[in-house]
Structure 1
Amino acid sequence: VDPENVTGKVYWVSQAGDFPFVGMNTDDCTFTTCPIRAGNRQTYVCQVNI
């Protein structure tokens, strides 16, 4: 499968529950080349301000 769009999310896990990081850009195509091709190694870097 070669997805045209890829998303990523970061959560803070605590005893009270899992909380998503508000304001994070979830469009991973902003941080890497899309579309992603099956069988090709690909990485991306995304800074998350805490």
Structure 2
Amino acid sequence: TSSGVFGKSTTASAEKGKKVFEAVVTELVKHVNLLKSAKIEDLIRKPKV
């Protein structure tokens, strides 16, 4: 959005923000760990022939 706000800010709270932040970080860590455990060859797109 042009204002950078998503949703109704009047219902926001620090606790809700913390829960959302922690959930996002948890998912990000899962994805980073998947990438760390993958073989580099599996991460590189192979050209279609």
TM-score with structure 2 setting the length? 0.21
Structure having the higher strand fraction is: 1
The structure with higher relative contact order (CA 8 Å, sep 6+) is: 1
Structure of larger gyration radius: 2
Structure having the higher helix fraction is: 2
TM-score with structure 1 setting the length? 0.21
